[in-house]
Amino acid sequence: MKANELKVALAQIAPVWLDKKATLEKIEATLLEAAGAEAELVIFGEAFLPGYPFWLALTGGAEWNTKVNKEIHAHYVRNSVQIEAGDLDAICEVAKENNIAVYLGIMERPKDRGGHSIYASLVYINETGTIASVHRKLQPTYDERLTWAPGDGHGLRVHSLKQFTVGGLNCWENWMPLPRATLYGLGENLHVAVWPGNLNNTKDITRFIARESRSYVISVSSLMRKEDFPSDTPHLEKILRKAPEVLGNGGSCIAGPDGEWIMEPVVDKEGLLYEILDFNKVYEERQNFDPVGHYSRPDVTQLKVNRERQSTINFKD
């Protein structure tokens, strides 16, 4: 691969829903497959490990104090990721051994917030196998608030990958102008947008962000079909009673810095999608517009960002 080129792999696949162990194994296998194709960056969808909370819209998720919602939620939390306990160590080792970077959407159960609430976090693992950032979704969307906690700005960070500067946001965070502007200001030129799995989410915003930022934008969505629910899922019969045949149809895609499609949205196809990105295209499109460079007025408008990791306790021993 040339120095100015980056080979990316979009993992448009289904998790083993709400099964942490089995989904981790699927991630490892996917990374090895991508490494065999000489991919340098692999991206998985939002909350991929261990899956998106589809049951909320199917089981009366807003009903107060019900046995069904409590038991499915507990199952979800039990299968969420605790990074401090080493849950991602094997993934990091695969990344290191294959010199491959990873963006992975997880449900995080962090110790620094007590270890009982969960956050939709986007984890960046660099090519040396180091977890370089964990971005907890700032604002869960609609029914997600019934099971996810709101995050903070600590993970609003970018990373060098060959000649690129990569950053990412979760799902509808990508519609939030100020988090986007934060990443632009940090020098982002390859934006990663992760989604639970639907063309309706990716078809418009991917090109919009690319045109606004003059960056590459990669949207990655998971798949989820009725047959992807494991048979041992709590209250499976009630979930399936109202579930459509397809809950997540993908729609993964890539737009170039000019806002035009490099990879048009791919629907109902499971597997790895590959593309080679040329960094020179970034410089070409920044010639006439750079939102935080020559086409900005920091003397008129500026953005303040709090990147402190939030906690309910602050010890002074």
217-238 residue pLDDT tens: 999 999 999 999 999 999 999 9
DSSP track, the chain: --TTEEEEEEEE----TT-HHHHHHHHHHHHHHHHHTT-SEEE--TTTBT---GGGGTTTTTSTT-HHHHHHHHHHHHTSB-GGGTTTHHHHHHHHHHT-EEEEEEEE--GGGTSSS-EEEEEEE-TTS-EEEEEE-SS--GGGGGT-----GGG---EEETTEEEEEEEGGGGG-HHHHHHHHHTT--EEEEEESS-HHHHTTHHHHHHHHHTSEEEEEE-EEEGGGS-TTSTTHHHHHHH--SEEEEEEEEEE-TTS-EEEEEEES--EEEEEEEETHHHHHHHTT--TTTTT--TTT-------PPP-S-----
Query: Of 57, 39, 42, whose CA–CA distance to 12 is shortest?
Result: 42
In terms of Cβ atoms closer than 10 Å to its own Cβ (0-12, 13-18, 19+), residue 23 is buried
Cα separation, 169 vs 174, in Å, equals 6
Tell me the CA distances in angstroms from 269 to 46, 228, 248, one per residue in order: 17, 14, 11
Cα separation, 181 vs 231, in Å, equals 43
Q: Per-residue pLDDT for the chain (317 aa), expressed as one digit of tens each?
A: 799 999 999 999 999 999 999 999 999 999 999 999 999 999 999 999 999 999 999 999 899 999 999 999 999 999 999 999 999 999 999 999 999 999 999 999 999 999 999 999 999 999 999 999 999 999 999 999 999 999 999 999 999 999 999 999 999 999 999 999 999 999 999 999 999 999 999 999 999 999 999 999 999 999 999 999 999 999 999 999 999 999 999 999 999 999 999 999 999 999 999 999 999 999 999 999 999 999 999 999 999 999 999 999 888 88
Mean pLDDT of the chain: 97
Q: Which fold has domain 5-286?
A: Nitrilase/N-carbamoyl-D-aminoacid amidohydrolase (3.60.110)
What's the angle, vertex CA 274, arms to CA 272 and CA 275, rounded to 5? 160
Residues facing residue 224 across a β-bridge? 248
78-108 residue pLDDT tens: 999 999 999 999 999 999 999 999 999 999 9
DSSP track, 224-290: EEGGGS-TTSTTHHHHHHH--SEEEEEEEEEE-TTS-EEEEEEES--EEEEEEEETHHHHHHHTT--
Phi, psi for residue 297 in degrees, rounded to 5:
-135, 75
Cα separation, 201 vs 209, in Å, equals 13
Q: What is the maximal distance between C-alpha atoms in the chain?
A: 59
